[in-house]
Amino acid sequence: MWTPPLSRLQHPREVVRHFTPNWFTATMGTGILALALNQFPLPVPGLRGFAQGLWLVNIGVFILCALLYSARWVFFFDGARRIFQHGVMCMFLGAIPMGLATIVNGFLAFGASHPGNAAVEIAHALWWVDAAMAVACAWLVPYLMFTRQEHSLESMTAVWLLPIVAAEVTAASGGLLIAHLGAGAAATRILLVSYALWGVSVLPAIGILAILFLRMALHKLPRRDMAASSWLSLGPIGTGALGLLLLGAQAPRILVGTQIVEIGRAAYGLGVIGAAILWGFGLWWLVLAVLITLRYVREGLPFNMGWWAFTFPIGVYSMATLTLGYMTGVSVFIVLGAAFVLVLGAFWLIVFSRTVYGAYHGHLFVGPPDSNLQT
């Protein structure tokens, strides 16, 4: 039976009033699927065209999310600013630069293949915007955690990683960007800034993962509506490995003719070895995430926007796996990477379809359990 759109809402303006940054996780998941499909190792007719179309759709979704969230700040300012006191929703501010990073990478993956266009220049400009947003999240959100928000070890989840991981996503994107730039001051600047962004993100993320291990051991699993958050632990590990590979692959070329040319050669080897180590660390978290999810499935999993956590982490891990295979020639990584991409595609289909259904009927446009964002 047909029902009108937004039938669960009292008024269409409720879409704006309850629009929160966790919706940008849909752009993260959709964007990483487009990029991963573009790297798929098997020849599938039309796959690249589908991936490019998915990336274009993602641009539209990102713009729509940006307009709705901006409208909330304009028309419901008092409610919007309360995000800074919210101990969970505030973390999703990091999803905004991460979603933008997938668009930047898409310009390089799909637009830069056509000579004479401005795709690289657009990506170059957007990359600096993305870097500024990522750094702002990396410092602002933890500062708010320390000064305004209420947190406890028992209530902690892997969502704490979101504002931190954004910087390393930008770092990995920097590795893709400099592949399209000639050796020179601009490329060297992006290379070194990207390594710094990697350090800003990966090292604090490892500390958070250590605390998360302690929290899980002491207080067991989080409540069912946070079930998908167990996959978020894979995000900083996969992105960290991917960043080392992409930056290390470009460092020898970018630094040739400089006083630190030897560092460029070392960066290549460090990238492969470091990525292999992080890949193993990620595999450990991946198996745990699968076991935890199977336990939750037996209890029943309520759908919410948090389900997008099933997509981006496995997406960056699959791309790191494929890149490691391509750079080393070890076929097992390529096979596993292809399998991970297929898993990503299955997750995306499930989550995307349920998100569209929930958005159409309106029941996803509600405030979080903590009511301080509902006004």
pLDDT, tens only, 153-200: 999 999 999 999 999 999 999 999 999 999 999 999 999 999 999 999
Burial of 8 (0-12, 13-18, 19+ CB in 10 A): middle
Predicted local confidence at residue 1, as pLDDT: 64
Percentage of the chain lying above the pLDDT 90 cut: 86
Whether 370 has a pLDDT exceeding 70, the answer reads no
Q: Closest Cα partner for 101 from 112, 91, 109?
A: 109
Residue 374 pLDDT: 46
Q: Tokens standing for 139?
A: 């410092």
The pLDDT tens digits for 42-69 are: 999 999 999 999 999 999 999 999 999 9
Residue range 57-113, pLDDT digits in tens: 999 999 999 999 999 999 999 999 999 999 999 999 999 999 999 999 999 999 876
CA 135 to CA 131: how far, in whole Å?
Answer: 6
The domain over range 14-361 is classified in CATH as 1.10.260.40:
no
* pLDDT score of 373 more than 90: no
pLDDT value at 256 more than 90: no
Lowest mean pLDDT among 83-97, 253-267, 280-294: 253-267
Q: Alpha-carbon distance 315 to 234, whole Å?
A: 10
Q: Is the pLDDT of residue 116 over 90?
A: no
pLDDT computed for residue 115 by the predictor: 56
* Mean pLDDT rounded to a whole number for the chain: 94
pLDDT band at residue 366, thresholds of 50, 70 and 90?
confident
Residue 16: the pLDDT is 96
d(CA 114, CA 42): 23
Tens digits of residue pLDDT in 231-244: 999 999 999 999 99
pLDDT bin (cut points 50, 70, 90) of residue 258 is confident
Non-local (6+) Cβ contacts of 251 within 8 A are 191, 263, 264, 265, 267, 268, 271
CA 126 to CA 344: how far, in whole Å? Answer: 26
Domain boundaries, the chain: 14-361
**DSSP 8-state secondary structure symbol assigned to residue 309:** G
Chain centroid, CA 315 distance in Å? 9
Contacts of 164 (CB under 8 A, 6+ apart): 94, 137, 138, 142, 201, 204, 205, 208, 236
Q: What is the CA radius of gyration of the chain?
A: 20
Q: What's the rounded mean pLDDT across residues 313-317?
A: 98
